[in-house]
Structure formats: structure tokens, C-alpha cells
Amino acid sequence: MSDPAKPKTRPKRAMSHEGAKFEDRVLLGFVAAGSLAMVWISWPFFGAILWALVVTIAFAPVHDRLALMMPRRRNSVALLSLLLVIALVIVPAFIVGSMMVDEALKTYNSLQSREIDLGKIVRDIEAAIPSQWRVLFERYVTTDVEVLQARLSSMLTSGLQLVASEAVSVGQGAFSFAMALGVMLYLTFFLLRDGRHLTRKIGEMVPLRPEQRGALFDKFTTVIRATVKGSVIVAIVQGILGGFLFSMLDIRAALLWGVVMGLLALIPAVGTGLVWFPVGIYLLVTGSVWHGVVLLLCGFFIISMVDNVLRPILVGQDTRMPDYVVLISTLGGLSVMGINGLIVGPVVAAMFISAWEIFGESRAAERH
């Protein structure tokens, strides 16, 4: 004879299971709400947090070597690594930035006071165009000196005015800038000291399989390190070479042009050629043939080749995204997030590709 009490316990178990599922959903809601609230209140310091993370990943190998030499002094190692960051990154950036802003303001004032005669530049270019090309040139490009002068003046002054206004806004928001810099350095110290422990703890809480979680984390750190080493360092070298070349050829505002070339070098496919090529052509058509030839040859065979030679040495096979993906993600990141987009854009693209690769691999494993 069966026990009549047994069937009565089944609904209770079912209700208990449903209650546990409901509690899990409530807990997940609290986790999501708390995470969104934390993102909301931290958003004003998004740039500081992002660059603290970038600097930590970039300097992690140096920090690990110091940790091997002083294994029991975690605070001292993190502080020493932070001092290296300040000496190698922060101080040079301040020096170059202040010099660039000063040069941009001087150039902007020269344009406003007509010290730089754009009309003469336009007339020199027009006079240097061969007669057989002038008809074709006039068909597609206006040769009205006043119109061209107005267009060039508008383009240059708007660009330089943007730099000047940014400099003024930084000066007016000095307290906010100092606070953001302080947050970045403070956070960098703790990420250097406790980064591996935090990464392990976060990884344990991410609801993914261990192999999937490891693949995404590895891709994340690899792309950031490759972006810093393969893009930022190459851009700095190209900017230094371009600025030095402009200075040797006695081209005005060499430091400003060097910084512009360094920034453009971060954009794949176009890069520094947007500066040195038109300047070289201008030097050729206005009679400075030797200067123009030197600039074009050095631009083709030195500045442009730095990317092809230096990037494989620094990055190797760390990240192999298609060039068009890198271009779109970099330009898209710049347009959406400004300077922060230089890092966020490629990282988002890498995460997108990695997520689909992992998904494809898991689907293929299920089929087999």
C-alpha cells in the first residue's frame, strides 16, 4: 500500500523551486540596477577610468618585473610603477601639449593679423600650375584668389580656433581637469597593485564558461596593449619624425604640424600623408624644389615606413583585425567619444569579432 503523504510533498517542492527562481530573478534585478546606478554616477569620470585601465594594462609588464624584484612590497612596487607613468607619460604630455597650444595660438593670431598672407600663397600656387593643366584645374577648382583665400582662411582659422578654445576651456575647467587626473592616477595605483586579484574575482562572477571568459578577457587586454604599443607609440614616433623634418626644412609651426601628424597617424589608411604630401607639393610648385623633394622622399620612405617596420616589432601577431574594421572603429570611436574613442573603438570592434567567433565555435561544437 502506497504512502498517501508522498504526493502532497511534490507541490511543495515545485513551489520551493519556483520561489528560488523568483528570488534569483529579484537578485539579478538588484545586480543590474546596482550596476547601472554605478555606471551612472561614475560616468563623469569615464575618461579617467578608461585611461587608468589603459595605463595599467600597458605598464603591467614593467610592474610585474618590479614585483619580482620586490615580492613583499606591493605598495612600494605600485608606487614606483606610478612614478614611472608620471615621468614617462604625464610630464611629457603636459610639456608637448603646452608648447603645441602656444604655437597654435601664435599661428591663429598671425592669420588674424594677416601676418601670414594666404592670398600670396594662393597666387603662388596658381602661377606655378602649368598652362596645359590650368584649364582642367579651373574646370573643377575655382582659381578666384579671394574665394580661395576666404576658404583657406576659414578652414585654418576654424581649426586653430578649436585648439585655442579647447585650451581656454581646459584652463577654465582646471579644477575638473585636475580632479580627473587625480582620479586617474589614484585608480592606476590600485589597479597596478590589485589588478590581477580584481580580474580573477570579476572573472569568477561573469556568467560564461571558463574557456569563453578566458578568451574574452585575453582579447580585451591584447587589443588594449596592441593599440597602445602598435598605434600610440607608432603615432608618437611618426609625429616626432614629421615635426623634426618640418623643423629642419624651416617650415613654420613645426611642432604643431608634428602633433597633427601624430594624431592623424592613429587613423589607418590615411595617416600622416594628409600633412606632409600637400606641403611637399606646395613647396615644389612655389619654387622650393629641394625642400619639396626632401619632404616627399622622407615622407614616403621614412615617416610612412615607420608603421610597416615598427608595428610588427611592437605588436607582432597580437591582434589581426581587418584594416577596414580598424579604420571604421577608430573613426567611429573618435566621432562618438572624442579622444577616448581611440581606445574604445578598436576594443568594441575586437569584442564584437571575438564574441561572434566564440559563439560560432560553441555552435560548431554542439553540432558535432
Amino acid residing at 295: L
**pLDDT, tens digit (0-9, with 9 covering 90-100), for 203-223:** 777 777 777 777 777 777 777
**pLDDT, tens digit (0-9, with 9 covering 90-100), for 114-126:** 665 555 665 666 6
**Inside any domain, residue 35:** no
112, 187: one domain: yes
333, 303: one domain: no
**Inside any domain, residue 55:** yes
Cα(147)–Cα(128) distance, integer angstroms? 18
243, 352: one domain: no
Cα(243)–Cα(121) distance, integer angstroms? 22
155, 293: one domain: no
**Inside any domain, residue 37:** no
**Inside any domain, residue 20:** no
Which residue, among 159, 150, 163, has the nearest Cα to 118 in the 3D structure?
150
Cα(77)–Cα(195) distance, integer angstroms? 13
Cell of 347: 576594443
For the beta carbon of residue 269, count every other beta carbon within 10 angstroms: 11
**Inside any domain, residue 78:** yes
**What integer best gives the mean pLDDT of the chain?**
76
169, 301: one domain: no
160, 184: one domain: yes
Residue 94 banded pLDDT, cuts 50, 70, 90? confident
176, 303: one domain: no
**pLDDT, tens digit (0-9, with 9 covering 90-100), for 307-321:** 777 776 666 555 566
309, 347: one domain: no
- At 101, is the secondary structure helix, strand, or coil? helix
310, 330: one domain: no
55 CB burial (10 A radius; 0-12, 13-18, 19+)? buried
For residue 308, report the phi and psi dihedrals to the nearest 5 degrees.
-70, -30
Which residues, in sequence order, are CB contacts of 209 under 8 Å at separation 6+? none
Cα(239)–Cα(356) distance, integer angstroms? 36
Contact 63, 73 (CB under 8 A): no
**Inside any domain, residue 323:** yes
Q: Which domain holds residue 277?
A: 229-266+273-316
69, 189: one domain: yes
**Inside any domain, residue 311:** yes
Q: Please state whether the predicted TM-score (pTM) of the whole model is above 0.75.
A: no
Q: Please count the structural domains in the chain.
A: 3
From first CA to last CA, the distance across the chain in angstroms is: 48
Cα(272)–Cα(264) distance, integer angstroms? 6
254, 150: one domain: no
155, 258: one domain: no
Q: Look at residue 108 and tell me whether its pLDDT is greater than 70.
A: no
Which residue among 201, 216, 244 closes a domain?
Answer: 201
315 CB burial (10 A radius; 0-12, 13-18, 19+)? buried
**Inside any domain, residue 209:** no
Q: Look at residue 186 and tell me whether its pLDDT is greater than 90.
A: yes
Place of cell 596593449: 225
